[in-house]
Structure 1
Amino acid sequence: MNRKLKTMVLMLCIAPAVMAQSESDPLTTDLQNEHAFTFTESQLDEDENIPKNVIIFSSSRNVYASEVGYRFSPARFKFRGYNSKYNDIYINGNPVNDIETGTFRYSFVGGLNNQTRSQETTLPFEDNQFSMSGMAGSANYNFRPSSFATGQRFSLAGANRNYNVRAMYTYNTGMMDNGWAFTGSLTYRWGNGTGFVDGTFYNSLSYFLGAEKMINDQHSLSLVTWGNPTERGTQAASVDEMYWIANDYQYNSVWGYQNGKKRNSRVIKDFQPAAMLIWDWKIDDDTKLTTSLLGKYTMFSNSRLDYNNTTNPQPDYYSVLPSYHFKVWDQEATEDRDAAALANWQASYDYLSASKANRQVHWDQMYFANRTVALQGGEAMYYLKRFHDDQLTMNLSSYLEKVLNPSTILHGGLLLSANKGMHYQTMDDLLGATKFTNVNTYVIKNYGKDSQQAQYDLNNPNKLIGKDDRFGYDYNLLVNRAQAWAGISKDIESAHLFLNGRVAGTSMQRDGKMRNGLAPNNSYGKSSTKSFFDAGFKAGAHLDLGKGHALLLGLSYDSKAPDAKTAFQAAQVSNEFVADLKDEKMMTAELGYQLKTSWLGLNFNAFYSHLDDVTEQSMYYSDSDHSFSYVSLTGIAKSYYGLELGANVKVTDWLNIKALGTISEAKYMNNANVSYMLSEDGLTRSDVVLNKGMREGNTPLTAASLDLSYHANGWYVDLIGNYYDRIYLYYTPVTRYASNQPNSINMITGETEYNDVPAQDKGKGGFMVDASIGRQFYLKNGHRLGVNLMVTNLLNNLKIVTGGREQSRVKYEDGEPVNPKKDPFKNSPYKFYANGINGMLMLNYYF
């Protein structure tokens, strides 16, 4: 299929010199990674002509902001390096970010391209009517049935991406003479692994139904419901050694052959049915009130292989790789570099490179081992477990817009949220075994197999687990939130000024459903309640300097309650909160310049954000301790700063040149406090993580783009060159614990100095070329047909790293960590690489 795509693109790009971009039916991209970027998700749609409230500075007039999300998405670009939780997403003024993590999962509106087209996107220092904008901006989707364009639309797309086929049908009545408006939409996306990542699949049905009644000139009611039941097989990052052996930058370790058929071990099931009631009240010509009630039930789960009293079955596990037998990175070593070690290296390489099946999950072998042990009455050696993160959410939101006079507008709103998060683990498949007991095997070496500590649930000791039974952990997180905000904007001659403020209160509590043996008195039932009060303000000035010149000044300070997901030391084990838990404090300043003329649009922005008291959390398996480690970092300080440039040059009536660029930093500014619990004993330890100077992972901190956009007679052609650099991988705290680092005492200052703290791993950047071509055909009776072809990575650059993480393992010799330069784990981070040439061909029929 790649060869066909190359041929098609070459023919289309050489074809008519009159082909170019139509403003009526521009390019779409259908991104599947939920955390690819944190801003301008309007670029997911097939129509960039989204009506917005335009002021001197706005997302629609800012060349950089309006293009960056779509343009840099293949590299998983994060706007300004921010975590996605700082980008606030709303539906008709009702916030839909996850209340436990702060992030918004775009699968919540997956497949609803036609509905999410109608949105208002707000820059960090742009005011709006529905909120005080987030640190990374905000977006508000309009789901009122009367807001959708009247008529029918059918879209069919073929791709070699996450899915292979997408079909969409939408019907909108618009507001009819009887005061009713109805809408309905169905989308189906399907893929069987014929895209770039072997062993993956995609199966998703999205629906949207809505009705709106205009009661009178003052009141209207809308009721909408939507959802997208999805099942998809995923990909995992791997190490360069395995990519090299497989000769495939898209090697995927989480699938294997079972009875000759491919089976993926990491399958996500995701369904978030939601319903919203919207009441619009036009109190008078100058006053509008919008109130909405949102209810949703999230059912999200992910399966994963696990093992019991045997070796890890992952085919890229470090002990099965050639480098395990021969010290590749330590050329000074006297052991494991002799002829015998080299022979073992060669044997491992020969086995893994002999066939694809040898590099994948051995399902048949696991079934054989489990059935053999079952005949002897033994426990399952291998099993497939499923992590569940379900939620029941209710949000009540109300916001008011009051025009005080032609130059002054007052906004304000209230929000009440209640969320019950249900987190548990179930047995997905015993893989041929007949017995599995709900006990903690990690503690046996310390406490013994018959000890109280070995029980995951003392209320049901030694419970035998069957398919779909809960085991390991089972708890709820209860989070309640209330917020009030207000803002005023005023136009004074050539200036637009605004001031926003907010106050909020958040409470959180854990409700354990299992009495864990490691915390028998602090795991079952409800914990104490932590409450947080936060507040903030945001002020901005947009100054029209005349002749197309404008200046932006912005300043904000905000505090934010810690995320419930990171508030507990080890939520799977106990009710214990993280020590010294505080509100995050965020200060942001921005200076922007804009030039708008008949032939040039130019934006230049400089930004700075500083965060204090950030809390972060991770969990990993510690080989040295033979235990899971639950790690919490507190007191983190971060700084984000950089420059952004966007330019749109109208060369002729049919040719535009668009340029984007950013260079930024997203840096940890101090060494954080760390507390970690080991599952082998349930004890919490304290240390310091030497993470000062680490960067935000999985995003290019330097990126640039140049687009030749050629448009005439309803045709469009875009040829885009992108460059990505300074792509850091997620760092791991465990390799930087101060207690494990070589150190010395400075004889002058008396301070401890740490030597050889591991540098953060980086991924390779590079150039990527994308192209698109399409046309709009006008048919009889007002019907239209749009044809679009989009191709990403036209030059097939496979070496660009799009993300990854360091290994949470440390090599020890004589009880001490080895030098990071000689550590095989430090030299083998897990990485994702960019897909090669891939594309999507779409047909859109309007009638």
Structure 2
Amino acid sequence: MQKKLNIALLAMCCAPVCAQTHTDSIGQHSRLEVEAACTFAESQLGQNADMPQGVTMVNSNKNVFASEVSYRFAPTHLRYRAYNPMYNEVYINGVLMNNAETGQFRYPTIGGIGVQGLNFDSSLPFEDFGYGMTAMGGSNNYNFRAADMKRGQHIEWTGANRNYTMGGAYSYVSGLNENGWAFAGTLSYRWAKQGYVDGTPLRSLSYYLSVQKVLNDNHSLAFATWGSPSKRAQYGASTDEAFQLADDRQYNPYWGYYNDKKRNSRVVREFAPTALLTWDWNINEKTRLSTSLQGQYAWYRCTRLNYNGENPYADSWLKMPSSIYNVWNPSDPANTADAKARWEKACTEWAADKSNRQLDWERMYWFNEQVATQGTDAMYWLEARHNDNLNVSIASTLDKRLTNKSSLRAGFNLATNKGMHYQTINSLLGATQMHNVNTYAIAHYPAASDKVQYDLNNRDAVLGKGDRMGYDYNILMNKAKVWGAYIEDFGPLHYSLSARMGYQSMQRDGKMRNGMAADNSFGKSRTKDFFDGGLKFGSSLDMGCGHTLIFGMGYEQRAPQAAAVFASPEVNNDIAVNLKNEKLFSTEVGYMYNGSWLHANINGYYSYVKDASDWQSFYMDNTNELVYNSITGLKKKYYGLEAGLKFDICKTLDMKLVGTISEAQTTDNALSRYMFACHGTYNDDVLLSKDMHEAGTPLTAASLGVNYHQRGWTVGVDCNYYDRIYLDYSTYNRLQRIANGESMEQAKGKGGFMLNCSIGRSARVMRGLLNINLSITNLTNNRNICTGGYESNYDVRQPNTDASGASLYNFAKNPRKFYAFGTSGMLNITYSF
């Protein structure tokens, strides 16, 4: 053992120790690991819909760190190199599937597909990729051709206490028969009366069907269709004060009892049926052309509670005990004996009964029934925000082998997209009427003013369930991209040079004539055009004896995402000012060693983003106002080290050590144009964004794992560490005129250790293979690891005071957070035959 350890150290130091290259893939993961990673990735989708969905999946057959990052660090939603998921591109049969407006791929659209979903190629940022220029955060391509899938049948049952509690699936793959036909299909269902977080039921049905006909030696046609209709309830972030009083790190403020049953105010329904037709043409032995046509219609709806009165959420700042007594400053004049007594009573009541800290649906219904008798509008109602999407795209890829050591790849992507954004009444909660008027503006304008009308073409419309209210607009997009790549082995040097060029057009089409922009909201806006492109070089130098040096460099310009192009799309047609293409520079150097019993890599990277843009909408907590904020001119840098080591101690025991320490922050101030929904006018200011960090992902993470495998048994234990987890910063309170010269430190969450373990058994049963796997995450039940959150947005110019003018609730001390799940398990039983 000591000898092996010494040799390992020598190999890491590039000593000339020759070893046969290990041919086994280090990036292979069990079905249980993939399912576990997807479960935690989807669990983030159950969080607050206002939060960005930071889900990134990468893999590698050579890089130890990249092969583990998506699986080992899934419980804390670690993003590869802290990049926004829009920098990670996902293809299916060569067609880019990232959302056209946000640039992010929604994993629920292929959720539950089963073993077919494991058939994919993954390329790191400077590796070869067969379907385009590799994205800054890597690219994946899923192969949904029936003939390329492993023949057989697969039955699966899963029990868990995560975002779902039970699931089952059946998959069938025929293989290619003598007549040239192949069929594949999956049907699965996942269910939870309540997920790990209180008040979060889930129902999800998934289907996949593929048929392929090999016409002859040169031509093949493949058709695939899939979808995953689902309904899930979300959970919201809250403050440490609320978590402590509830004695629960997964306290969820979004639900309450109604008719003695739990009812959640944030419920998501989504369904994105997709069809894909692929034609493969083997032109000759050295040339292959693949063309795919894809169509998708996606429905997405998320309900939320709105009100024209007192905030109904139990964790709203006015209902928290710290709004009575200043716990942050004992010498505050407000801290009288009476205030302390009222604070103690509030703490006792808040913690005494679960119903005291949840939504009071019965109370809301009672108030609405009272106003209904007076003929006035609802005080509380459920609205549903819809983000529907129609996308049609075609992609073609030519792969030509030039010589035994060189090849050429080229292709194009064309896409057209219609994003439909609107809001409807989901329930009036016992009220009888609701008018389509701006409740935020009524306090500032006369009731008869045009300003309070959401749609001047249909003034004072009386709304019922299902009617559209507030906003209704489409985003129309067209995209075109051409790309090419040259790959060559030049002696010990393998390198690739790729390039792309693209065009995008974006336009808003308003369906309501908003009173805040009577002449600039109904109908189509002007079209905004962007041309972009990029170059990338990647290389690896084989130094012999398993040693490899890696180098890559790239520069590209990317059109801004459509989600950030319009300044206030829920109100008018205005396009954001100072909008430019993003400029991205990225580079990487690395060393890799692959031996018979040792695999190691260390990589350093640096990326710089200039002229990035963003768009936000948020509520001001202390003034109950809606704000739209368009941000341009962002500059960001990402750099760090990532390392991985896989050490085969003996034939049955191996050890993996992976880790990263990174930095991801904004390097300069940006420009902000914001609008209060109650006024409809813009304010321009400087956003003090310098030194703000990327949020919702650990910037430091490490994992040590040991795996034992013999005679069908596998046992694994790993200990993970997370640190430097930042929260999304408040852009409003960092506006120059609001901050008034004061600097605000960005809020952080606490990291820590997490211990995970798994045990599995594989055995031949009759003519099939039975696998039983049990994984337990967070065995020590560490619930103190923060996985993300955000600072409160509040108007510091309107202090929260009592009658004597003393300060009370402290928003700056009460950011809203999410915490990691405690001990959770998953039992997975599969039978393949």
TM-score range, shorter chain: over 0.9
Query: C-alpha distance in 1, partners of 2:719/2:62?
Result: 22
Distance 1:624 1:368, change over 3 A: closer
- Aligned position for 1:329: 328
- Aligned position for 1:797: 782
Q: Any residues of structure 2 matched to 1:47-66 within 5 Å, and which?
A: 59-66=60-67
> How far apart are residue 643 of structure 1 and its match?
0.1
Q: Any residues of structure 2 matched to 1:135-284 within 5 Å, and which?
A: 135-193=136-194, 195-284=195-284
Query: C-alpha distance in 1, partners of 2:495/2:623?
Result: 58
2:704 counterpart SS class = strand
- Aligned position for 2:751: 765
**2:421 aligned to which of 416, 420, 423:** 423
2:614 counterpart SS class = strand
- Aligned position for 1:74: 75
What does the per-residue CA deviation read over 1:607-652, in whole Å, with 9 as the maximum and x for residues that have no partner?
0000000001111122565521101111000000000000001111
User: Could you tell me whether the CA contact under 8 Å between 1:501 and 1:538 is conserved in 2?
Assistant: yes
> How far apart are residue 445 of structure 1 and its match?
3.1
| Matched residues, number | 791
- Aligned position for 1:685: 683
- Aligned position for 2:672: 674
1:446 counterpart SS class = coil
Q: Any residues of structure 2 matched to 1:293-372 within 5 Å, and which?
A: 293-308=293-308, 310-334=309-333, 336-372=334-370
AA partner of residue 218 (structure 1): N
2:116 counterpart SS class = helix
Distance 1:523 1:170, change over 3 A: same
- Aligned position for 2:440: 442
User: Could you tell me whether the CA contact under 8 Å between 2:322 and 2:809 is conserved in 1?
Assistant: no
AA partner of residue 197 (structure 2): V
AA partner of residue 325 (structure 1): I
What does the per-residue CA deviation read over 1:353-407, in whole Å, with 9 as the maximum and x for residues that have no partner?
1200111110111111101110111110000000000000001100110000101
TM-score by length of 1: 0.92
- Aligned position for 1:778: 764
> How far apart are residue 22 of structure 1 and its match?
11
What does the per-residue CA deviation read over 1:70-93, in whole Å, with 9 as the maximum and x for residues that have no partner?
000101101000000000000011
Q: Any residues of structure 2 matched to 1:676-825 within 5 Å, and which?
A: 676-742=674-740, 754=741, 756-781=742-767, 783-812=768-797, 824-825=810-811
User: Could you tell me whether the CA contact under 8 Å between 1:458 and 1:514 is conserved in 2?
Assistant: yes
User: Could you tell me whether the CA contact under 8 Å between 1:811 and 1:824 is conserved in 2?
Assistant: no
> How far apart are residue 446 of structure 1 and its match?
2.8
> How far apart are residue 698 of structure 1 and its match?
0.5
> How far apart are residue 737 of structure 1 and its match?
1.1
> How far apart are residue 697 of structure 1 and its match?
0.3
Query: C-alpha distance in 2, partners of 1:736/1:698?
Result: 19
- Aligned position for 2:496: 498
2:369 counterpart SS class = helix
> How far apart are residue 557 of structure 1 and its match?
0.3
User: Could you tell me whether the CA contact under 8 Å between 2:224 and 2:276 is conserved in 1?
Assistant: yes
**2:643 aligned to which of 645, 648, 653:** 645
Distance 1:832 1:502, change over 3 A: same
Distance 1:710 1:797, change over 3 A: same
RMSD over equivalenced CA pairs, Å: 1.6
AA partner of residue 803 (structure 1): G
Query: C-alpha distance in 2, partners of 1:361/1:318?
Result: 14
Distance 1:24 1:791, change over 3 A: closer
1:372 counterpart SS class = helix
> How far apart are residue 27 of structure 1 and its match?
3.8
- Aligned position for 1:837: 823
What does the per-residue CA deviation read over 1:276-334, in whole Å, with 9 as the maximum and x for residues that have no partner?
000000011100000000000010010000001x1111111000000111122234432
1:651 counterpart SS class = strand
User: Could you tell me whether the CA contact under 8 Å between 2:58 and 2:124 is conserved in 1?
Assistant: no
> How far apart are residue 113 of structure 1 and its match?
2.6
Asked if 1:520 is matched to 2:497, the reply is no
Distance 1:148 1:498, change over 3 A: same
User: Could you tell me whether the CA contact under 8 Å between 1:810 and 1:823 is conserved in 2?
Assistant: no
Query: C-alpha distance in 2, partners of 1:25/1:445?
Result: 57
- Aligned position for 2:601: 603
Distance 1:560 1:813, change over 3 A: closer
User: Could you tell me whether the CA contact under 8 Å between 1:443 and 1:453 is conserved in 2?
Assistant: yes
User: Could you tell me whether the CA contact under 8 Å between 1:39 and 1:137 is conserved in 2?
Assistant: no
User: Could you tell me whether the CA contact under 8 Å between 1:608 and 1:642 is conserved in 2?
Assistant: yes
Distance 1:464 1:303, change over 3 A: same
Percent identity over the alignment is 45
Query: C-alpha distance in 2, partners of 1:80/1:38?
Result: 12
Query: Runs of 5+ in structure 2 lacking a partner?
Result: 1-26, 46-51, 802-806
> How far apart are residue 40 of structure 1 and its match?
3.6
What does the per-residue CA deviation read over 1:131-153, in whole Å, with 9 as the maximum and x for residues that have no partner?
11100000000000111111110
Query: C-alpha distance in 2, partners of 1:517/1:329?
Result: 43
> How far apart are residue 196 of structure 1 and its match?
2.1
> How far apart are residue 116 of structure 1 and its match?
1.2
Query: C-alpha distance in 2, partners of 1:541/1:680?
Result: 55
Query: Runs of 5+ in structure 1 lacking a partner?
Result: 1-20, 43-58, 743-753
AA partner of residue 586 (structure 1): L
Distance 1:536 1:126, change over 3 A: same
AA partner of residue 304 (structure 1): R
AA partner of residue 189 (structure 1): R
Query: C-alpha distance in 1, partners of 2:338/2:406?
Result: 81
2:387 counterpart SS class = strand
What does the per-residue CA deviation read over 1:99-158, in whole Å, with 9 as the maximum and x for residues that have no partner?
100000101101013111100000000012111110000000000011111111000010
Asked if 1:104 is matched to 2:105, the reply is yes
Asked if 1:113 is matched to 2:114, the reply is yes
> How far apart are residue 585 of structure 1 and its match?
0.6
> How far apart are residue 340 of structure 1 and its match?
2.1
1:569 counterpart SS class = coil
> How far apart are residue 444 of structure 1 and its match?
2.3
Query: C-alpha distance in 2, partners of 1:359/1:626?
Result: 20
AA partner of residue 315 (structure 1): A
> How far apart are residue 541 of structure 1 and its match?
1.4
> How far apart are residue 25 of structure 1 and its match?
6.6
Query: C-alpha distance in 2, partners of 1:167/1:26?
Result: 13
User: Could you tell me whether the CA contact under 8 Å between 1:38 and 1:87 is conserved in 2?
Assistant: no
1:473 counterpart SS class = strand
Which segment drifts farther, 693-702 or 30-39? 30-39
Query: C-alpha distance in 2, partners of 1:556/1:791?
Result: 41
> How far apart are residue 809 of structure 1 and its match?
1.4
1:587 counterpart SS class = strand
> How far apart are residue 441 of structure 1 and its match?
2.1
Query: C-alpha distance in 2, partners of 1:470/1:23?
Result: 46
- Aligned position for 1:95: 96
User: Could you tell me whether the CA contact under 8 Å between 1:37 and 1:79 is conserved in 2?
Assistant: no
User: Could you tell me whether the CA contact under 8 Å between 1:92 and 1:140 is conserved in 2?
Assistant: yes
Distance 1:409 1:137, change over 3 A: same
Query: C-alpha distance in 2, partners of 1:416/1:698?
Result: 33
- Aligned position for 1:536: 534
1:508 counterpart SS class = strand
AA partner of residue 792 (structure 1): T
- Aligned position for 2:127: 126
User: Could you tell me whether the CA contact under 8 Å between 1:480 and 1:507 is conserved in 2?
Assistant: yes
1:448 counterpart SS class = coil
- Aligned position for 1:587: 585
> How far apart are residue 346 of structure 1 and its match?
2.0
Query: C-alpha distance in 1, partners of 2:28/2:535?
Result: 41
AA partner of residue 648 (structure 1): K
Query: C-alpha distance in 1, partners of 2:187/2:492?
Result: 47
Query: C-alpha distance in 1, partners of 2:720/2:78?
Result: 12
> How far apart are residue 259 of structure 1 and its match?
0.9
> How far apart are residue 813 of structure 1 and its match?
5.7
